Amino acid sequence: MKAYQIDSNDVMKKLQTSADRGLSSDFAREQLKRFGSNALPEEGGFSVFTIFLSQFLNPMMFILLIAVGMSVLIGEYKDACIIMLAVVINVVVGFFQEWRAEKAARALKSYEVSYCHVKRDGAVISIDARELVPGDYVLLAAGARVPADVRLVKVTDLTIEEALLTGEAKPIKKTSQAIQEECVVGDRTNMAFAGTYVVSGKAEGVVVTTGKDTELGHIARLVVETKEEETPLQLQIKRFSWVLGGIMLFVTAIVAVIALIKGISFHEVLTLSIALAVASIPEGLLVTVTAILAIGMYRMLRRKALVRHLVAAETLGSVSVVCTDKTGTLTEGSMRVVEIITSKEVIHFAQEKKDMSLSEDLRELLTLCVLNNDVEIAATGEATVGHPTERALVQAAQKAGLPIEKIRADFQRLDEVPFSSDRKYMATLHQWNEKKRLIVKGAPERIFNMCNHDNGNLQHFRDMTEDMTKRGLRLLALAVKDDGISSVDEEITGLTCAGLIGIQDPLRPQAAQTVKELKEAGIRVILVTGDHQETASYIANGVGLATAQEHVMTGERLDKLAPNQLAEKIDTIDVFARVDPRHKIRIVQAWQGKGQAVAMTGDGVNDAPALKAADIGVALGSGSDVSHEISDMVLLDNNLSTITSAVQEGRTIFDNIRKVIAYLMIDSFSEIILILAALLAGLPLPMLAVQIFWINLVTDGFTALALTVEPSEPEIMREPPRRKNEPVVNNEMKFLIFIIGVITDLGLFGLYVLLFYHSSLAFEHIRTIVFTALAVDSLLYVFSVRSFRRSLFRMNPFSNRWLVWAVFAGFIMQCVAVYVPFMQKLLSTVPLSLLDWGVIFGMSLIKILGIEVTKEIFLRNKDSI
């Protein structure tokens, strides 16, 4: 049995301690050696050097470094320097993308306590909290943090805020009585947990667990032990890189064998291999992908979603399950009066409405709410300090136009009995004109029991209580007594019920629409909360989630399920209620086990392990520092609808990454085929490695970057999420790469052969024409990769103005490569005539027309299947 299930005296006996003397100093030292320091577990540090080296563990980097080595070997130092520049750019970008410190476990340490008061050897002393051991008898007071997990022994009006562990903002009233049944952390009312905050009262208790064994320690350990998985994009780019590297090595080996068989010199074979290596690697890919992610992050920030980690921006596009808490995301995160019942009327209270028309009964009831209330009013007139429920009452009175300070001055408080969870009411005595009035506020059943039962309105209030409770409202009843009251110490009876107040953390106006939009996008929404089942079901029903018994599961039921049983049931559950951190991790992992990409929202320390385990951890802007540190994204407006916007941006990011990959791979494919065709035909290389590098990084660089700002396509939120294991290069992309590559190469190789055999042009001139023709082709067919869903005939080709300017800049740079003397020497080019340009542009336009006709036929056939 656990400590909360055992009588406190038995707990102390088991731990060899007592309330009178506590532990002896000698025994405490032995315990410290046995259990270790009262400190949370920490994650190990990371090596900056390791992150730097990891940038080279990429097949594309291997190939480029080999090309650098071969260039140096054959004396092509110019090529070696240019290729090395690409390596440096990619390494620097990759390093800064990954270089971030893992701060989550260290942020948890901010909840540790420095010093605490304990009894040792019969005396109360202050010790370093790290020296606390099981069996220490500690003293707790208001305003302090609890230093370890404590079984309470003596309690005086003790309330503790446990939002750190449970997510519940309401302070919990504590007792010392044993609890027979096994229960979740939030229901263990005889325990004080490490890191939680003592709101009021005082207590004494015995430490039962310290450090890593406390509930807070369990959370810290879960954070440390939960591995951060690579995002779908990272996995797909890595897989793509290895496949591309393997193909390139295979092709190079075949080409080298063919070349040697044909009697080509070893020097020329190396030159050919370098050209193939440079042609096969899209050098601008990493830089462009990073730019797409950064632009996506900026777009999300404008829509109130702060993405903390670059790759997380894209992962949002693959999310298929969103696990959300209710407070602040589905609801507004603040208690409000939504309904008021008097003996004569039912008022649905509109918070936004001011200067309401008040009946006498309603005015009097709101006046009672102001007087029987401890909320402090700031100089600005706002209700700032006090219990959330009492703030809601005062704010309702303010909205109705009541002068709070004047009412309190006119009807001064003479006596009071503060609220307690045992009494379930608060009573105040006021000067009321020439007499005294007793006002009592509390739980309806408790108030009704103190009322005159011959009052005809009492049954009316009882009936309304039942109806309002079913609708998920938190209820308060107010009652008064005017005769023969001198103090409130005596037994209270003979009250007259004045009315009922219905309070609620209301749903956000757009919550139901947001859930609907997510469902339409193929995303499953799950409510995961520490609230009771009734409250959770009410909120879930309001946003359109299933709330029948078979669709709702509590943490207690979840504990009884083996992992395989949970995997079988998880598809049918829309609501998880009364859950704690370990339950949240199980829910996330159960969905991930089914191949789903999971986003988990949270705002407390208790959410940290699940935020880390999820594919995307989403913290609320109002949440704890720990949740911010460990999350991938922060909702600055605490609004679930922001996730919908972020998912759209995430899908757009992946769409644009695919477009860039297709665009760059078309060039690489075209260059490789052109070189191979020339080799097989016994012709010289049609382009040099440095010219290929120029097209890949400079000419294509502008247009590839312009694709990063391509807007969302209309269908993007009507499509289901992509699978986590879906390859980054899909069938549509393969078709487009093949078709554009083949059409481009047929035209280019035909032009090359024609010029080589049937013109009197110098070979440098022919090579310059082929080099420029491929550059112009890539600048024009970029418009064909703007969409995989429709052809250029059904699009506005100029809707992305950045792309238009990028194509223009690409033409300017190609002119620089052809006409500027320094660049002519670097790239081995010669000036071109107007006739040369006419041939190049004429062929390019014919090829674009052929590409788009083929693409339109393919898309129509695909739609008809």
DSSP three-state, residue 94: helix
Residue 511 and residue 640 in contact, taking contact as beta carbons nearer than 8 Å: yes
For the stretch 691-711, what's the b/e string if a residue is b when 16 or more beta carbons lie within 10 angstroms of its beta carbon?
bbbbbbbbbbbbbbbbbbbbe
Are the CB atoms for 595 and 725 separated by under 8 Å?
yes
Q: Where are the beta strands (DSSP E) in 588-651?
A: 598-602, 616-620, 633-635
Q: Angle at Cα 581 formed by Cα 576 and Cα 583, nearest 5°?
A: 45
Cβ neighbours of residue 365 closer than 8 Å, sequence gap 6 or more: 340, 342, 478, 498, 499, 501
Pairwise CA distance, residues 654 & 656, whole Å? 5
Residues 529 and 167 sit within 8 Å (Cβ to Cβ):
yes
CA atoms in the 13 A half-sphere facing the CB of 785: 34
How many CB atoms are closer than 10 A to CB 534? 13
What the block records as the tokens of 539 is 């909120």
> What's the rounded Cα separation, in Å, for the pair 202 and 223?
32
* Residue 325 known to be catalytic: yes
Contact 355, 401 (CB under 8 A): yes
Query: How far apart are the C-alpha atoms of 856 and 741, rounded to whole Å?
Result: 17
Q: Which phi and psi (to 5°) does residue 653 adopt? A: -60, -50
DSSP secondary structure code for residue 55 in this structure? T
- Cα four-point dihedral sign 370, 373, 379, 381: negative
Contact 751, 770 (CB under 8 A): yes
Structure tokens at 208: 């039962």
Q: Are 365 and 498 in contact (CB under 8 A)?
A: yes
How is residue 23 annotated by DSSP?
B
Cross-strand pairs, 124 = 119
Q: Which residue in 148, 210, 182 sits closest to 1, CA to CA?
A: 182
Residue type, 60: M
Strand order in 305-307's β-sheet? 305-307, 633-635, 616-620, 598-602, 321-324, 524-528, 575-577, 552-554
- Looking up tokens 């390139």, which residue turns up? 248
Instruction: Report the distance separating Cα 129 and Cα 138, nearest Å.
Output: 10
Q: Please provide the size of the chain in residues.
A: 865
Sole residue written with tokens 């045992």: 422
Q: How far is CA 479 from CA 340, 345, 417, 426, in A?
A: 14, 16, 15, 11
From CA 178, how far away is CA 240, in angstroms rounded?
A: 60
Closest CA to 55 of 252, 241, 307, 226: 241
Phi, psi dihedral angles at 492 (to 5 degrees):
-95, 125
Distances (CA, A) of 647 to 87, 276, 510: 33, 39, 17
Residues 79, 136, 325, 603: which is the catalytic one? 325
Buried b (16+ CB within 10 A) or exposed e, 14-46: ebebbeeebbeeebbeebbeebeebebbeeeee
Output the CA–CA distances (angstroms, integers) from residue 671 to 665, 693, 745, 787, in the order listed. Answer: 10, 11, 8, 23
Q: What is the DSSP string of 657-668?
A: HHHHHHHHHHHH
Neighbours of 433 (CB within 10 A): 8
Active site residues: 325
